[in-house]
Structures are given as C-alpha cells and as structure tokens.
C-alpha cells in the first residue's frame, strides 16, 4: 500500500534546541496533518495543512505543506522536556477514498 516516509525515526536533543522532521511521499496529497503521541496515550492533532505552500504555526510548532504536495515538515523551536513523544505525519492522498495515511513516526527525546 501507499506509504509516507518520515524522518528521522528518532532524535535525542538537548533542551532548548530546535527540531526538524519531515515526511515525503511519491504521490500527491490534499491534506497534511501532524500528530503527537504522549506515552500511553493516543495521537493528538497538532497542526493541519490544507493548501500547497501553506505555513501554519501552533505556539513553538511550525509546519508547512510542500509546494509539490508530496511533502511536509514540522519544526519545533526551543524544545522543552514535555515535547517528548512520538510525532506522526499523516496525509490524505488524492486517490485513497478519504483515508489518512500515517508515517512511521519520529520519536523525540529531550534531555533537560
């Protein structure tokens, strides 16, 4: 089936550092979403992107919908310990009947 390639798979950073992760696909997507999963919980929506080129912020988080509609990135500025978790990208392909496709996740660890 169709897949999203999310990278990196894991990151170990120092508190205060900036973080960047991205997702790419071989197909065009209509929507890009970024989720965060805290340990023992379900994913929670962070940012939703609906138009190519769109740049959206949510506090210290910024995400962009790539111009080619085949990629998206998420940046976290000035990381803090509570940023720890797994971040998932998700995309809505043009030809998948409205079902989201999820990336493999980026596990973020923040050292105080």
Partner 1 sequence: NAGVTQTPKFQVLKTGQSMTLQCAQDMNHNSMYWYRQDPGMGLRLIYYSASEGTTDKGEVPNGYNVSRLNKREFSLRLESAAPSQTSVYFCASSPRSGSFGTNYGYTFGSGTRLTVV
H/E stretch holding 25? none
Gap between the Cα atoms of 101 and 99, Å rounded? 7
Closest approach, Cβ 76 to partner 1, in A, equals 19
The closest of 110, 57, 64, 68 to 89, measured between CA atoms, is 64
Strand duo 5-7 + 29-37: pairing:
unpaired
Nearer to partner 1, 73 or 88 (CB): 88
Residues 57-66, buried b or exposed e (16+ Cβ, 10 A)? eeeebbbbbb
Nearer to partner 1, 62 or 104 (CB): 104
Closest approach, Cβ 27 to partner 1, in A, equals 15
Closest approach, Cβ 25 to partner 1, in A, equals 13
Closest approach, Cβ 2 to partner 1, in A, equals 9
Binding mask 23-62 for partner 1 (x = CB under 8 A): -------xx-x-x----xxxxxx--x-x------------
Map residue 86 onto helix, strand or coil: strand
Residues that bind partner 1 (CB under 8 A): 1, 4, 6, 9, 30-31, 33, 35, 40-45, 48, 50, 88, 90, 92, 97-100, 102-105
């Amino acid at each position: 089936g169709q897949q999203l390639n999310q990278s990196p798979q894991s990151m170990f950073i120092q508190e205060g550092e900036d973080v960047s992760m991205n997702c790419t696909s071989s197909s065009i997507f209509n929507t890009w979403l970024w989720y965060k999963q805290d340990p023992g919980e379900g994913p929670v929506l962070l940012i939703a992107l609906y138009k190519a080129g769109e740049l959206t912020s949510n506090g210290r988080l910024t995400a962009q919908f790539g111009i080619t509609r085949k990629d998206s990135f998420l940046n976290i500025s000035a990381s803090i310990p509570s940023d720890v978790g797994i971040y998932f990208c998700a995309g809505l392909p043009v030809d998948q009947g409205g079902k989201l496709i999820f990336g493999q996740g980026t596990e973020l660890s923040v050292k105080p």
